[in-house]
Amino acid sequence: MRMTHDEINVKHARTGFRDETGEWYQLDNAAIIMPAISNVRNTSLFRMAVTLDHPVRLDDLNTALERVAKRFPYYMVELRRGFFWYYFQPLKEPIKAVSDLGWPCMGYNMHKRGAPLLRVRVAGARIAFEFSHILADGAGGGCFLTATLIEYFKERGIVATPPSPTCDVSAPPDPEEYEDAYHRFYKPRIPIPGPLPRAYHLSSKLLPVGQCRAITGIVVADDLVALAKARKVSVTEFLTAVYLDSLIELRTVQVQAGARRLSPYVSLEVPVNLRRFYKTKSLRNFSLFVLPTIDTRLGTWTLDELAAYVHHYMGIENDERRIATQISRNAGGGRKLVVRLIPLFIKNFFAKILYVALGEGLISGILSNLGTIQMPEELAPHLERFDFLGAPSSTLKTFAALCTWKGKTHIAFGSQAQSRELERLFFKRLVALGLRVEVSSNM
Amino acid sequence: MVRCDQCGVELAEGTERCPLCGAVLGDKDAAGRAGAPGPVPVPADGAGENRQRRQVAAEVLSVSLAIAALTLVVLDLIMGAGIAWSLYPLVALGFIWWLICPTLMATRKPALGIAVSALAPFGFLVALDAINGSLAWSLTLGAPIAAAVELGVLGTILAAKASKIRGLNVLAYAFVAAAAICLVVEGAIDLYRDGILNLFWSSITASTLIPVAGFLFYAHLRLARNTTLKKLFHY
């Protein structure tokens, strides 16, 4: 008897295996391309940092990490090469907190033998968690961060209730937590999305290799919400419009200065957490994106028009049926036997080309909104600040990520571009709209 | 808090330059000459079902081969006086059936099915030889080579099964088996042709394969003990 689609999906979604050498894991569908495109500039690390109300006690943090490591064995892994695919091998040594004095998300080589795929960095009162996107997305990273903070504060005599079993170290790891949810929710016979045009990219010389600038603007969340509500859009939609507006101005300046062959399309990637649509406990990657795109040949756009456009675009695209077409393309492609049987070195060669042509080639920037951080209320008084920084990209050069905590929204631009013009135009627009913006930078 | 007059943003006390425009704070005219960036430069299913499926596969294969055989015989009869050239493809079709069907059909005793299938190459060689009227080479040349190949494969599988950890050591077993097969092949050819054993190319091949196998054993034991074939070759 033929397997049902559900049975086939469950088979493909399984990533954890056990053999005579112990546990090992397959990469999820979003992660399989990343080892090929990761290098000293594109490290694939995203960063979630929390600032405490006291200098971090390193011994307590390492004790907490030891306990959390047992709860998240599928994160305590290193990357290994197979003949057809990469796989995760459990680490021999437990991870320890390291200094956070270097550049954020940089100085990392995932291909190094024994290299963990997440880093916990400490400086003063700040604990920064840097996750490779090969391992997890923001939801998984947030869960690990919450569990670590709960255990850290337990060491300090403050007991907090875990918000969910996935953040509770006393609960055993559920196999669903490391399943490949893309394959789990794959629907056969769904068409794939149509081709997209190549997008405009920022033009700027890059910073020296290994450097990453982070410019953070802090705004009062209520003020930001008020600005968005005045336009009947969400905060993400409003900031997407501001970002697009800034990119369009940058492009216009370049055209006026005589630049030719610039793509007329300005396009922004806005990640979508698929857990909104599909019920899963997976803490691997499970997000896709929508891509609001402006064709600059059509004329000029005011900020309000852009906000309205983004709002309606998101209303159409941010829909389970539309997202399913992306899953169909990504997961469906990975299931083809002819793709699976191509040796890894050939896959890597084509992955680099395809990623530039069909991935980052189609977007001008990224705006990732983690939303309001949810923490156990016992910990809240001791957590002063959260910062979220996206994974660096030398193609996009500059990219934005934001999160909200205690009524303040932190909008962080990570960048490898020498030019700070995009950040300047973006925050200048917010100031012009009457928002108070407190800006800081690491360089 | 201090405020940047150029950008309008607020900055922490003690900040000397605006991180956005590079302006020296408190100096309204300084933005341009302070190295400010300015505008951007141009730039599974159940065992029962499985059995049934294998049975169907065996039936489909049998019927397909029978149709092909019948067609060959009819064509040969039409074109000539009797069955002549069609004997060779008929033997080949029989070989395919013998090789595949016992394994497919012996679902309850798979070892028996594999053993019967393993005899197929011998039967094939003997039948080919017999078509020419005598058993000139099949028993003295073909059978030892076929036996060596089958024993090599069997030895590799058994050694792999006996290994606690299957990784690069399985490749090493395969290399050792390949070296042994080469020696037997040349030995059989020498004895059939000259009646004297004079190993040349096979000894060179074996002396190349054996050190590689040794290195793979070493790599397995010392470097890649955590690597299994399933991990290495999962697809």
Provide ipTM, 2 decimals: 0.71
Contact B228 A205 (CB under 8 A): no
> What pLDDT is stored for residue A174 in this prediction?
93
CB contact (8 A) between residue A20 and residue B37: no
Residue A205: its chain B contacts at CB < 8 A? 43
| A277-321 confidence digits (pLDDT tens) | 999 999 999 999 999 999 999 999 999 999 999 999 999 999 999
Which A residues, 48 through 87, put their C-beta within 8 Å of a C-beta on chain B?
A: 80, 82-85, 87
Q: How many CB atoms lie within 10 A of CB A312?
A: 13
Cα R_g (chain B), whole angstroms: 36
Alpha-carbon gap: A438 to the closest alpha carbon of chain B (Å): 4
**pLDDT of B43 strictly over 50:** no
Please give the backbone phi and psi of residue B227, each rounded to the nearest 5 degrees, phi first: -100, 125
Q: Residue A56 has what pLDDT?
A: 87
Q: Which of A11, A12, A17, A21 should we substitute to test contact with B (largest number of B Cβ atoms within 10 Å)?
A: A21
Fill in the amino acid letter for A130.
E
Q: Which amino acid makes up residue A75?
A: Y
Q: In A, which residues are within 8 Å of B35 by CB distance?
A: none
pLDDT band of B116, cuts 50, 70, 90: very high
* Tokens representing residue A208 in the block: 């020296």
Coil/strand/helix, residue A19: strand
From the candidates B11, B20, B53, B164, which should be mutated to test the interface with A, based on the most A CB atoms within 10 A? B20
- Please indicate if any CB of chain B lies within 8 Å of the CB of A137: no
- Domains, chain A, in order of start with CATH, read 5-184 (3.30.559.10), 213-441 (3.30.559.30)
> What mean pLDDT is predicted for residues A166-195?
92
The pLDDT value given to residue B47 = 56
- Residue B14: closest C-alpha in chain A: A440
Question: B165 to chain A: nearest residue by CA?
Answer: A20
Residue in A411, A439, A440, A443 to test binding to B, most B beta-carbons within 10 Å = A439
Q: How close, in Å, is residue A158 to chain B by CA atoms?
A: 31
As separate numbers, helices (DSSP H) first and strands (DSSP E) second, chain B gives: 9, 2
The predicted structure's pLDDT at residue B44:
38
Among A116-130, A224-238, A307-321, B23-37, the least confident range? B23-37
Residues 286-325 of A with CB under 8 A from B: none
Residue A437 touches chain B, beta carbons under 8 Å = yes
Nearest 5°: the CA angle B216, B221, B227 is 80
- A443 reaches B (C-beta below 8 A): yes
**Can you list the alpha helix ranges (DSSP code H) found in B29-109?**
30-33, 47-79, 87-105
- The residue with greater pLDDT, A362 or A333, is A362
Mutation for B interface: A262, A420, A425, most B CBs within 10 A: A420
Q: Which of A149, A175, A163 is nearest to A72 (CA)?
A: A175
**Helix, coil or strand: residue A240:** helix
Given CB atoms, is A428 within the 8 Å cutoff of chain B?
yes
Residue B5, classed as helix, strand or coil, is coil
Mean pLDDT of A13-37: 90
Q: What is the pLDDT of residue B183?
A: 94
Distance in angstroms (rounded) separating the CA atoms of residues A65 and A121: 12
Residue B31's pLDDT is 41
Taking contacts as CB-CB distances below 8 angstroms, the residues of chain B near A441 are: 19-20
Residues of B in Cβ contact (< 8 Å) with A341: 235
- Percent of chain A residues topping a pLDDT of 70: 100
CA distance B52 to chain A (A): 9
> Given CB atoms, is A275 within the 8 Å cutoff of chain B?
no
* Residue of chain B with shortest Cα separation from A203: B43
The helix (H) or strand (E) run that includes residue A390 is none
Task: Name the residue facing A423 among B20, B49, B230 (closest C-beta).
Answer: B20
A129: its two tokens: 């968690």
Chain B residues whose CB is inside 8 A of the A89 CB are 226, 231
Q: Is the pLDDT of residue B4 over 70?
A: yes
